[in-house]
Amino acid sequence: MNMKRIIIMAAAGLLSFGGAFLAAKFTKSTHVTASEPNQAAVATEAGDLKTAQATADAPDAVGLSDSDMRKTITEKQLKSLVYEVREKMREYDTKLQDMEQREQRLQITEDTLKKDIEELTNLRTELATTVASVKEQRDKLLKTRLEIEQVEKSNLTTISATYDKMDAASAGKILASMCASRAQSGAVAAGSVDDAVKILYYMSERSKAKVLAELVTSEPKLAAFLCQRLKQIMEK
């Protein structure tokens, strides 16, 4: 009994649901059909208004189709792109020329530096050679100098004053005797010869001239040697 009631209630529910579904569907279709003409009319009027406004706002576009307008836009974009590419190429050429000029300037600078370095190297070599030669000449000059110390100078001055009081012949003989030791080659020995030169150096100019004149007569080579050594005396 309960099972039968349940089945009857389920069947009644299904019938009610199906009837409600059919009624709703029918009502919706009728509403849509009735409203479609009005919507179409409204859409047509709106489209006409937009077309008229577009025509008024853009008179230049009158008579151009959508394909023509797209073609015009594409051509403009293409021209703009070509212009940009040309500008980039022009900028690239300018930069390339600047780089080439810079490389040329750098090469010229490098060549100049190399030349200067080579000249400086040659100059340094020549200078080193000159310095070595000057040093050698200085060493030779130092070896040939006849130096007189301050203590020795006092004694030589006293002795030379005594020779000044002698006659030129006697003083010349004494000096010649001091230089009597000679080598067989004719060169004057350096021992006592330096003492004779020092004494002659501190004699008065007049006495010195007379003594040398006597020596020129008797000992010309000795007189020449003494004159040469007088120029090499250096007081400390």
Task: Give the pLDDT of residue 57.
Answer: 45
From 63, 85, 64, select the one nearest 73 (Cα to Cα).
Answer: 64
Based on the structure, what is the number of domains in the chain? Answer: 2
b/e 50-86 (16+ beta carbons within 10 angstroms → b): eeeeeeeeeeeeeeeeeeeeeeeeeeeeeeeeeeeee
Final residue of a structural domain among 99, 129, 144: 144
Within this chain, do residues 131 and 83 fall inside the same structural domain, yes or no?
Answer: yes
Judge whether 154 and 193 are in contact, CB under 8 Å: no
Within this chain, do residues 78 and 139 fall inside the same structural domain, yes or no?
Answer: yes
pTM of full prediction above 0.75: no
Within this chain, do residues 224 and 163 fall inside the same structural domain, yes or no?
Answer: yes
Whether 161 is in a domain gets the answer yes
Residue 173 lies in domain: 146-235
Residues with pLDDT less than 50, the chain: 1-2, 18, 22, 26, 28-64, 182-189
Task: Give the pLDDT of residue 181.
Answer: 58
Instruction: State the Cα–Cα distance between residues 151 and 235, nearest whole angstrom.
Output: 11
Final residue of a structural domain among 116, 144, 172: 144
Run of H or E including 233: strand 233-235
Instruction: State the Cα–Cα distance between residues 121 and 14, nearest whole angstrom.
Output: 118
Within this chain, do residues 178 and 130 fall inside the same structural domain, yes or no?
Answer: no
Task: Give the pLDDT of residue 160.
Answer: 94
Task: Give the pLDDT of residue 19.
Answer: 52
Q: Provide the terminal-to-terminal Cα distance of the chain, rounded to the nearest Å.
A: 160
Within this chain, do residues 115 and 174 fall inside the same structural domain, yes or no?
Answer: no
Instruction: State the Cα–Cα distance between residues 176 and 163, nearest whole angstrom.
Output: 13
Q: Dump pLDDT digits (tens) for 208-236.
A: 999 999 999 989 999 999 999 998 888 87
Q: Return contacts of 180-187, CB within 8 angstroms, 24+ apart.
A: 186/221
Whether 47 is in a domain gets the answer no
Taking the CB of residue 174, how many other CB atoms lie within 10 A of it?
13
Within this chain, do residues 137 and 190 fall inside the same structural domain, yes or no?
Answer: no
Within this chain, do residues 203 and 214 fall inside the same structural domain, yes or no?
Answer: yes
Instruction: State the Cα–Cα distance between residues 18 and 10, nearest whole angstrom.
Output: 12
Give the DSSP letter string of 170-207: HHHHHHHHHT--B-TTSPBPSHHHHHHHHHHHHS-HHH
Q: Dump pLDDT digits (tens) for 31-52.
A: 434 344 444 443 444 444 444 3
Task: Give the pLDDT of residue 185.
Answer: 39
